[in-house]
Structures are given as structure tokens and as C-alpha cells.
Amino acid sequence: MVAEPRRLPLWLLIGVYALPAIFAWFLLRRGYSHHVRLGAFLLAGFSLITAAVSIVSPY
């Protein structure tokens, strides 16, 4: 019997969107699909790269 995947609660969805580098780690718990994890970590990586470029770039 295969367990149903967890539903993404609203607080976690807002957290992943607002602070993806922090809240994406909550998706590593059992039950979340690989697609949800991949999307959250891609968003976290993109936001970290964007922040690093904005710090380094003078413009």
C-alpha cells in the first residue's frame, strides 16, 4: 500500500516563497513529492544566486 503524499500547508507555501533558503528544508520530511522538493530548492538556489550577484555587482 502506497501512502498518499503530504499536502503542502499554506504556511509552508508562503514560507518557501518568502524565504526559500530556510523553508525548503522543511520539505525534506517524508511524504512530500520530488517535484515539490525540486521546485523549492530551485527557487532557493535562484534566490541565493540573485542575492549574491546583487551584492557583487555595483549596479
Q: Is the pLDDT of residue 58 over 80?
A: no
Would 3 be classed as within a structural domain?
no
Would 43 be classed as within a structural domain?
yes
1-55 pLDDT per residue, tens: 677 888 899 999 999 999 998 999 999 999 999 999 999 999 999 999 999 999 9
The whole domain housing 25 covers 10-56
What is the SS3 string spanning the chain? CCCCCCCCCHHHHHHHHHCHHHHHHHHHCCCCCHHHHHHHHHHHHHHHHHHHHHHHCCC
Would 4 be classed as within a structural domain?
no
Q: Is the pLDDT of residue 59 over 80?
A: no
Res 1: pLDDT: 65
Would 20 be classed as within a structural domain?
yes
- Whole-structure pTM value: 0.82
Count of domains for the chain: 1
Would 30 be classed as within a structural domain?
yes
Q: What percent of the chain has pLDDT over 90?
A: 80
Q: Are 21 and 48 in contact (CB under 8 A)?
A: yes
